[in-house]
């Protein structure tokens, strides 16, 4: 029995260590088209529908954002200035971050998308394959019921999990609706 416990411990420890070995520090260019968001640019393109996680250091907290890519030259992350980390991306743009990509689909609901995030970002995201992204500008299309939109999209896309980045009420509504539909969902806890 002791031998089995030893190998189980070795296996679990190895599985925990592997993700840490695959992270790397990358040079980034950060810009803020408005006080509401920052755009983080990385070298090298990625396929459409990827989510990236970034951290200021490999041993600190990780933050997830959608990735926008125009090709093989570079790709960008769009980070809304909501919490301490994302506000620091606008006020004190970093030169280096630690990225980690994940495959995703995106629902982007925002007011005056072009004005707040720029023509370039709006054009890139709107140009994604229709089966990977939903862009909804509330200034043009009105306010949707985001919780229903999220559940419907998650079912259509066969999503394993829904991750929400919204205000406290929006996050709660989407998480509760997804959980009621049997879809695992997570959002910010808004405790800071």
Domain boundary among 36, 68, 102: 102
174 is in which domain, residue-wise? 106-186
What pTM did the predictor assign?
0.53
Domain boundary among 102, 118, 143: 102
For residue 77, with 0-12 CB atoms within 10 Å meaning exposed, 13-18 middle and 19 or more buried, which class applies? buried
Shared domain check, 178 and 113: yes
Shared domain check, 118 and 53: no
| 4 part of a folded domain | no
Between 53 and 190, name the one with better pLDDT: 53
- Tell me the pLDDT tens digit for each residue of 118-175: 888 888 777 777 778 888 999 999 999 999 999 999 999 888 889 898 888 999 999 9
Shared domain check, 72 and 133: no
Between 51 and 53, name the one with better pLDDT: 53
Shared domain check, 96 and 141: no
């Amino acid at each position: 029995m002791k031998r089995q416990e030893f190998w189980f411990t070795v296996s679990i420890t190895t599985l925990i260590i592997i993700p840490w070995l695959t992270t790397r520090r990358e040079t980034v260019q950060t810009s803020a088209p408005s006080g509401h968001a920052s755009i983080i640019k990385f070298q090298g393109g990625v396929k459409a529908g990827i989510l990236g996680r970034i951290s200021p250091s490999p041993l600190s907290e990780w933050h997830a954002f959608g990735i926008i890519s125009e090709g093989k030259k570079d790709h960008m992350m769009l980070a809304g200035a909501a919490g301490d980390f994302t506000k620091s991306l606008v006020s004190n743009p970093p030169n280096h971050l630690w990225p980690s990509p994940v495959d995703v689909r995106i629902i982007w609901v925002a007011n005056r998308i072009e004005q707040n995030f720029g023509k370039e970002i709006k054009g890139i995201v709107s140009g994604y394959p229709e089966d990977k992204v939903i862009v909804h500008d509330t200034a043009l299309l009105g306010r949707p019921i985001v919780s229903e939109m999220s559940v419907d999209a998650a079912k259509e896309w066969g999503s394993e999990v829904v991750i929400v980045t919204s205000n406290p009420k929006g996050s709660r509504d989407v998480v509760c609706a997804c959980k009621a539909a049997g879809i695992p969902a997570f959002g910010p806890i808004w405790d800071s």
